[in-house]
Amino acid sequence: MIILDKPAGLAVHAGPRGGASLEGWLPLLQQGKRHLPQPAHRLDQDTAGCLALGRTKPALAALGALFAEGRARKTYWAVLRGAPPALAGEVNAPLLKRSTKAEGWRMVVDPAGQPARTQYRVLGRDGDLTAVELQPRTGRTHQLRVHMAHLGCPILGDARYGGGAGALHLLARALTLPLDPPRAATAAIPPHMTETLARCGVV
């Protein structure tokens, strides 16, 4: 397997409108294997950080099972606009994909949606900014972004869910995989998050 530190702004898969994506770089990571390495889980285009890829079909299947069963431990760092209601807690709010002609698709909290759970812990604060550590216990689309907005403190730079303009302040900081032996990786803090995390006393 390979664990990449994906930069913010790079899509994992090529979109219908074209543009750069991780798929375009996969041949450089083939390293003599018969098949191209493939991502074992999702990471939004604007989210930086740890992304695991399987280099063979059996490896990809094994990694996929770890993520599907919730055994892979994913830790994110984010900077929020506002503050959550406590220094630590859990958001348990089901998510549903909703689409309208005017706004396109987005994820919303809805009792009819799929179960979604996120644990959070405050790392530091500065004024109306709060740095948090997030651990998703499920893997729904836009889960962390919607759950933080649901608490009234959207992720900074998340224009879709109320976080304002600019770069998305969300980092897949660490990934731990329960293999034999266990594998773990930590992503570097991207340049656009360095200042805000420092203001919150995190780095």
Tell me the sheet residues that pair with 155.
80
Q: Phi, psi (5° rounding) for residue 39?
A: -60, 140
- Give the bridge partners for 202, in sequence order: none
Reference 137, options 94, 185, 181, 79; nearest CA is 94
Parallel/antiparallel/unpaired status of strands 73-81 and 183-186: unpaired
CA distances in angstroms from 28 to 21, 35, 82, 102, 135, listed in the order given? 13, 12, 42, 40, 31
128 catalytic? Reply is no
44, 110, 128, 158: the active-site residue = 44
Instruction: Give CA 185 to chain center in angstroms.
Output: 15
Q: Please answer whether residues 20 and 9 qualify as being in contact, where contact means their C-beta atoms are separated by less than 8 angstroms.
A: no
For residue 5, the number of C-alpha atoms closer than 13 Å in the C-beta half-sphere is 9
Q: Which residues are catalytic?
A: 44
